[in-house]
Amino acid sequence: MQPQEPLLAVKGVTLQYKTPQHLITATYRVSFDVHQGDRFILLGPSGCGKSTLQKAVGGYMAPTEGEMTLKGRRITEPGPDRMMVFQEFDQLLPWKTVKQNVAFALQSAKRMSQREAEEKALHYVDKVGLSKFADSHPHMLSGGMKQRVAIARGMAMEPDILLMDEPFAALDALTRRKMQDELLKLWEETRFTVLFVTHSIAEAIKIGSRILLLSPHPGRVKAEINSTTDPKEAAELERYIHETLFAHEKQEELEHV
């Protein structure tokens, strides 16, 4: 891989679902590049194909048009180089402890010995601030803590890219903000690459370094923008994104007047 080459290249990707009655186009000719260390956001209204794009990057779905490459290699199947974190709280195995939940994936996918896997698991459990709960079972944890375990599990695999699909959407507002701060802190420490899906404009601006705006169904690229940490610029950016995403609806509203 050349230094300038993107880590993940998505080129003209159309994704479709075939049901007995319909052919549903989820995304249409979407292109974007994710570079090493990017916090890359897919932002758009519900149903615009964000999760579908993530699934395809994860290797669970093949494009009907275009292609996706990771480190120059075409994505054709799932692999431990791409780890997914979801919003559901039931992604952990309830009969395993926090440490075992993280170690399990390392043992099965990376063929590590139990000892080696548990050592690495503890390292990442510590990184997400859950050392004290390493031997607890998931039912003892709050929603936010469970989500941190899922993040630790994804990170412990040391993937090329972490895929997060609305990971904080099911949390209460305060916990959500705390988790966002923690994710940024983790990023400062390890500079992992993340492809993060959200439909919250504020979350996109806060978490992202780059933001891809997708139009409503079927998802097409509307714009790709840099985020900002300056509060005044962030407010402006929020307004800009809102206008860009809903420009079409505004047009319709006007037409109805």
Choice between 118 and 166, CB closer to Mg ion: 166
| Using rule CB under 5 A, residue 51 touches Mg ion | yes
Choice between 51 and 209, CB closer to Mg ion: 51
Name the segment binding Mg ion (CB under 5 A); options: 47-55, 62-70, 82-90, 100-108: 47-55
| Residue 160: other Cβ atoms inside 10 A | 17
Give dist(CA 26, CA 145) in Å, integer.
33
Q: Which does 24 bind (CB under 5 to 8 A by kind): ligand ADP, Mg ion, none?
A: ligand ADP
**152 in helix, strand or coil?**
helix
Give the long-range contacts of residues 106-113, CB within 8 A, separation 24 or more.
106/156, 106/157, 109/80, 109/157, 110/80, 110/157
Q: Which residues contact 106 (CB under 8 A, 6 or more apart)?
A: 112, 116, 117, 120, 121, 156, 157
x/- binding map, residues 143-162, to Mg ion, per CB under 5 A? Answer: --------------------
Give dist(CA 166, CA 163) in Å, integer.
10
Interface with ligand ADP in residues 191-250 (CB under 6 A)? 217
Closest of 215, 209, 198, 207 to residue 249, by C-alpha:
215
Q: Which does 147 bind (CB under 5 to 8 A by kind): Mg ion, ligand ADP, none?
A: none
Choice between 15 and 155, CB closer to ligand ADP: 15
Give dist(CA 147, CA 170) in Å, integer.
10
x/- binding map, residues 24-53, to ligand ADP, per CB under 6 A? Answer: x-x-----------------x-xxxxxxx-
Contact status, residue 61 vs residue 21, Cβ threshold 8 Å = no
Choice between 2 and 19, CB closer to ligand ADP: 19
Give dist(CA 198, CA 86) in Å, integer.
11
Name the segment binding ligand ADP (CB under 6 A); options: 17-25, 74-82, 171-179, 249-257: 17-25
Q: Which does 138 bind (CB under 5 to 8 A by kind): ligand ADP, Mg ion, none?
A: none
Applying CB under 5 A, which residues contact Mg ion? 51
Applying CB under 6 A, which residues contact ligand ADP? 17, 19, 24, 26, 44, 46-52, 217
